[in-house]
Each structure stands twice: as C-alpha cells, then as structure tokens.
Structure 1
C-alpha cells in the first residue's frame, strides 16, 4: 500500500481529539504558570514556553512514528521492552533524585523520565505475548507469564520510590480480561482494594465481623437455592484468607508505605485534618474548583491560580485550573473529550482483525482511563495524592512524549494496512 493511502487510513477523529486535549492542556498550563515579569512570550525560562517546545517536538515524534512500517512494532516489541527495563534499572546507577524520587536521567538542562515510555513498551510486549498462537489466557501458566511482563517494570519503579507510576500497570488487567482472563481476577482485585480501604477506615475487628456475616449469608443463600449443603470448607478458607489479609493491612500500611502516603490516606479517610500540611494541595485544589461555579472566572483570571495557592498546579493539579477558570461547563467538556478519546480507541481496538493490535489498543485505552480517573479523583479529593499526571494536560516533556508514543503507535497500527484475514 502506498504511503499516501496509508496516510488517508489514519483515524483522524482520534488525532483531532488528541490535538484538542493538548491545546486545551497548554492553555491551562499557560494560565497556571503565567509570570507577568517575563520579557517575551518566547522566554524559555517560562514553563508554558517549555511546554510549547515539547508540543512542537511531539509533532516530529508523531511524524516519525507514523512513518515507520506498522509491522516494526510487533517484530521488535521484545527488544523495545528489554530496552525499557534496562533504562529503569539504570536509574539506580545514573539517575538523579528530583522531588524525593530517583526517576530521572538528566542531560544538561533537559531531563527524561523512562517510566513514562515504559508503558508503551510494556503494552507492546503484552500484545506480542497475547498474539502468540499458543497463548491462552484461560490457562494458568500463560496468566503467570503475562502478569510477569506487567509486574517487572512496576517492581523496578516502586523502589525509586514512585508508587503512582507503578499503580498505572494495574490497567493492563483489562486487556487481559478482553483476551480471556477469568472475571474472578478483576473481582478479586476490586475486593482486595475494598478490603484494604475498609480495614484502614473501620479497623480489623469490624471488617472481620463483616466478612463472617457476609460469608454466613452467602452460605445460607446457596443452601436455600441449591437445596443441598454447599462445601462449608470452601467458605471457611475464603473467610480465613480475607480476615488474614485484613490483619496484614496495618503491617503493610505502617511498614511498606512511606509517611507521606500514610498521611494522604488518613486525610482522605477523615482520620486526620491537615489543611496546611500534607493535605494543603488537595484542600486548595478543592477550593479552586469550587470557586469556579458554572462558567468559571475566565482564562488567567482565577484567583487561586494567579495567587499560586495550589503548589505545582501546572503538573498533577492542572485540572484545578480548568475547574476554577472554565467552571463546571468547561470541566465537563474536558471530561467529555477524554471519554470520547477512550471510547474511540476501544472501538478501533475492537475492529482490529489481529490480536496484537487489538490488545495494544485495549492497553492504550486502559492506561489513559486509569490516569484520567485517578488524577481527577485526586484533584477533587476523592483519592489520595499519588502523583499521577493528567494525560496531555500536565506539564512535562517525558509525560507528553510518553502518551504521544503510546497513542500514535496504535494510530499507526490501526491505519497502516495491518489487518490479517
């Protein structure tokens, strides 16, 4: 197929949504980082000018990604994945600590965060493994191998420490579910998270009592429905495992989590009130969003934003600028654009005629959704602060490039004569 025909086959709705989000993101970065003392608009000491440079370089990156033969990404997915793992391990020797985490390579005035690029590499490796004709997600040995592909980069990222970036790898459970992973894994994941939070909120004793009562009720329901006694040992083992996990929560919370993470959980759970300390960012973010009302205060007119009341507002808390200056209506438009992009990717992924591009597409949608969902929840005070950026919005070259690579590899796979019969 000629390059001109391939060019026409690209999904331009996805590309339009991407550029819309990037443009709106930059507008809000400009407002959040506006320095009226700047000499010129193109002062490269200013954050918004640097982000404009990253956006311009992203255009070159997009052209490069789309110019490569689509089959390249499958053929060299293993090599790309191994390089990404090496780059993560290299941080422990050559990385520089920034904001308490050794997550960056520094090259003069520029810095690079390899964890942002490892997401795309992991998505490629997982897609390659799932597309193997011998892989069956219904078999335990294949599940273990798939989980290992996902877990390795996460395990390399956690000790940096960067638990927020590691959390993103939980998104890969959804493409595996699409490829035949049993629903029980999703159910167990959600149940474990609920059990963990419930134990922190109510204590081991109440959670243990609730597990016992729930187990008895389920046992009696099945006894009535099936007219014969269900195997009571199974219920006992499950209840014991849940109670055992509940007893381990406090140890994990006190010995594995860092103090700043414990403080953030305690604030969200209402155990601590620290509006001027660890909870300051979230508190000010909620004030900014709430003060925006229906239509907002207007671009560059946000009092919380102009007064720098929300620290690092141009990065993880950029959505608070949207809420304050563009109001509820502007926030809903941004949410709609993200949802539209994610749904479009899922639609394109489902129409793929080969497993590799389908799994990769589902991985892209899952990663974008997790970032979007957790970041907005964090900024609005629903979730603890975990340092997850808002895709295409938060300031940073590594983040923007990482998401651009992630998305446009899929655009290339979808539009690059990559269908098999």
Structure 2
C-alpha cells in the first residue's frame, strides 16, 4: 500500500517539512557546539556525537520518507496493533532494559546503540486515541468512553514510571490538551491547575508562619483557596449565584473573624477553622444536591473533598514517595534550598552559560562554559544553553520563534482536518511538542524542575529524534489525504 509520488507532492504540506528541516539543521549545529572539544581533529567522525547525530538525522529523514510513502489508511487500520506492540515492548524493557543513570528504559542493540521505547510510545498512544475517538457514537461525556481514553493514556504512562523514567511519563499529560479540544469539560483542566497550585503553595510556604500566630501560611492559603474555588464552581456550574455568594462571603467573614481573634485575643492554629469551613461547605453542597437533585452539586462536593485529600496527602507523597534527588530538584526550583554544588548545579551552570552569551553570543564553537564541560548533559537535556551561549539572546530568540512557527503551523494543520482521526492525532502532536518545549526551556532557565526530557530535534540522541520524526510524518501523511477523504 504505497502512494504515488506525484499525488503526494501536490498534497503534502511543504511548509511544515521546511520548518522541520530548519529545526534539524539548527539542532545539529547545536549538538556540534555542545559536544565539540578544543583540539579535536575530526569532530564529524562516527566516534563523535556530532558525527553520530548526523547519522541519526539521515536515518530520521529515511524514516520520514517511508512514512510518507505508506497509505494513510494503514495508520488507522494498524493503530491498535502498533499500540499493543509498543506496550509489550515497554513491558519487556522492564526486564531486559539496561540501567542507564538510574533508569531502566533503554534497550541495548549492540555497537554502542541504545533505543528508548518510551519515545515511540507517544506516537503509538496518539494513534490509538485517534482510532478509538473516531469510532461511531464516541462521546467523552459517556463514562465508558472516557474511562477507556484514560486507560489508553495511563497504561503506557504507568509502565514508564516503573522504568523509573518519570520525565517521559509526565509527557502523557499533554494529551489533555487534545481532550479539551474534543469536548472534555474545563473542570478537569481547572482541577489539574488547582492541584499544581495546592502543591506549590502548600510546600513552598509550609514552614512560614502567619505573623505571630501558630498557623502555616501554606496550609492557610490553600484551604482558603479551596473554599473560594468551591464557591466559584458553584456559581459557574449550578447557576445558583445566591448560594455561591453566601458560601464565599461566609468563608471570608469567618476567616477574618478568627484571624482577628487569633491576632489580638488568643493565638491558635487557624488552619483547623479553615478545615472546618471546608467541611461545612461540603455539607451545604450535599444538602442542595439532595434538595434540588442537581448532579453538579455532587460533582463540586467531590472536587472539594478531592482537593482536601490531595493537599493533605501531598506532604506524604513528597516526603516518602518521591526520590531524594526529585525532592531536592523541586526544592531548588521553588527557592526553598540553594544546592549549587548538587541538584542545582546543572541549572546554575546553564544560566551562567546563557547569561554569558549576551546579545549576540560568543560565536559557533566559542562557548567557554560548554567547551570546558561546565554544564552536565549540555548536548541532551540542557542543549538550549549552548544556543544561548554561542548565539546569544538574538539566536535563542530566533530558535524560539522557529519553534513558535512550527507549533502554529501544526495547529493550522490539526484544525483543518476533515475527520476526527486526523484532528485528534494532530492535537495530540501539538500537546506533546508544547510540553517538551515548555518543560525543557523551563529546566534550562530554572523555571521548572529538572525532569530530563529532550528538546525536540535539538537534543542529541537517535530515539528522541526518531520518535519526534515518526510523530510528525505520520501526521503529515494523514493531512495530505484530507482532500481525498473529504
């Protein structure tokens, strides 16, 4: 099932291919800059990273060409088979995978070549989701369909976590962008944002007291936020603005009264009062659910109780579930700890490298921080610091603008699809690239925790490059057939 070159040439989107090639070229020069050592006689040899990356790029172009030659129907027909095969490969990796830097997510093929199946699981999951969500009668609002979608996303994610590759597992949360586009209620995204806010605020200010009162600022603020979010959701999803106003006003009034009492009469832990207000709000929600038989009151009750459970369990997870290096990375990002010689070393050296580049940079192969190997993982996870040091602010901005054009073009392609299969796959692709771009650049700048995910088309390595290429060229092939399918 091979398509004809003539028809493909007319229908393929050459703009996205041109952007892909431009990113590949910029990425290869960045790998050269990051891996080059002063006095190296032949930095393009196959024993150097620059030479190997050139080989990976050649293979990636070959993979892309083959994917374009295949009929787009194959991706629909084989979606579940590909997904199942990748799941089996992920499971096999648990037993035969090599231990590389604490992760058991790599399979050695010999000759110094390793592959990471987790990189290919993203494309397989996107195909399976597109196939399932394109079935007749599918609806995210139907409980069975929603649970099946969650299963398709979280199954590979759970296996990858067992491989101790947390960064690659977190990428699967990017599929929620596609789900939102396909009609998932914004309450799920809002709940996710709330969870992040609860965790960050509660942890960051856990040891800060509220004035002279024995009340942690973090816990006090989070419990107050839960009350206000509950009132806000009541106003939006039940249209009972009178009830929401009483809930918000009562919470704020009780908080102010107890705050004044604790400040001027008897100091005590205000968080117990805040917890009691949250429980009282849940009882109010249950009362209106029973009286008016409006299911949204029950859902908001679950949100409030779920928020409390998540917040009070996050301390246990942080203290007993996360690995020590993961806890230190989070503490460094939140400014709770300065570990410049340990977990914060990579980020600190990366920021020094980027800052030293100035406006125009030091020039290709002239970066001192990267040439002297001050930045660990500078050609993989932290490769953007090489761009900043050698090309400066202008060069780094140009790279970000190139990525912006790439993402915007993907959005155009995803939105113009004539069937749900192509649209679901396209938005899955957009979410994955956005997640990688935001987290990787955030790691280099010290804005997000270091979770070890590559910068698309820039970071050294065959698995990530091939994984991104497979993701992209499957979509390009699907998009090229949209007119015929219409």
Normalised to the residue count of structure 1, the TM-score between the two structures is 0.95
Cα distance in structure 2, aligned partners of 1:137 and 1:148: 13
Instruction: Quote how far apart the aligned CAs of 1:302 are.
Output: 1.0
C-alpha separation between the residues in 2 aligned to 1:65 and 1:409?
6
Q: Confirm or deny: 8 A CA contact 1:265 1:384 kept in the other structure.
A: yes
**TM-aligned CA deviation for residue 206 of structure 1:** 3.1
Partner of 1:79: 81
Partners of 1:177 and 1:183 within 8 A in 2: yes
Indicate the structure whose relative CO is greater, using CA pairs within 8 Å and at least 6 residues apart.
1
Deviations 1:320-366, CA, capped at 9 Å, x for gaps: 00111111111111111111111111111111101101100101111
Q: Does the aligned pair in 2 maintain the 1:70–1:418 contact within 8 Å? A: no
Give the direction of change, closer, same or farther, for the CA distance of 1:146–1:270 in structure 2 (3 Å limit).
same
1:273 aligns with 338
Distance (Å, rounded) in 2 between the aligned partners of 1:192 and 1:219: 14
Q: Distance in 2 between matches of 1:168 and 1:143?
A: 19
Residues 246-289 of structure 1, C-alpha deviations (whole Å, 9 max, x = no match): 11111111222111100100111112111111111000001011
Aligned to 2:178: 175
**Deviation readout 1:82-128 (Å, 9 max, x if unpaired):** 01101100012211111110111101121110000110000000011
- What's the counterpart of residue 4 of structure 1? 6
User: CA, structure 1 residues 161+227, in 2 after alignment: closer, same or farther (shift >3 Å)?
Assistant: closer
Aligned to 2:220: 209
CA distance in 1, matches of 2:188, 2:434: 19
Q: CA deviation at 1:35?
A: 2.6
Unmatched segments (≥5 aa) in structure 2: 208-215, 248-280, 286-299
Give the 3 Å change call, closer, same or farther, for CA 292–420 of structure 1 in structure 2.
same
- Within-5 A mapping of 1:79-158: 79-109=81-111, 110-158=113-161
What is the rounded CA distance, in whole Å, between the counterparts of 2:165 and 2:201 in structure 1? 24
Alignment of structure 1 residues 229-244 onto 2, 5 Å: 233-234=284-285, 238-244=303-309
Instruction: Find the aligned partners of 2:181 and 2:227 in 1 and give their Cα distance.
Output: 33
Instruction: Give ranges in structure 1 of 5+ residues lacking alignment.
Output: none
Please state if 1:68 is matched with 2:70.
yes
> Which segment drifts farther, 122-131 or 249-258?
249-258
Q: Which of 24, 37, 50 does residue 48 from structure 1 map onto? A: 50
Separation of aligned partners in 1, 2:56 and 2:369 = 26
Aligned to 1:381: 446
Q: Determine if contact 1:65/1:409 at 8 Å carries over to the other structure.
A: yes
Check whether the contact 2:204–2:218 (CA below 8 A) recurs between aligned residues.
no
Task: Give the RMSD, CA atoms, in angstroms.
Answer: 2.1
**SS, match of residue 111 in structure 1:** strand
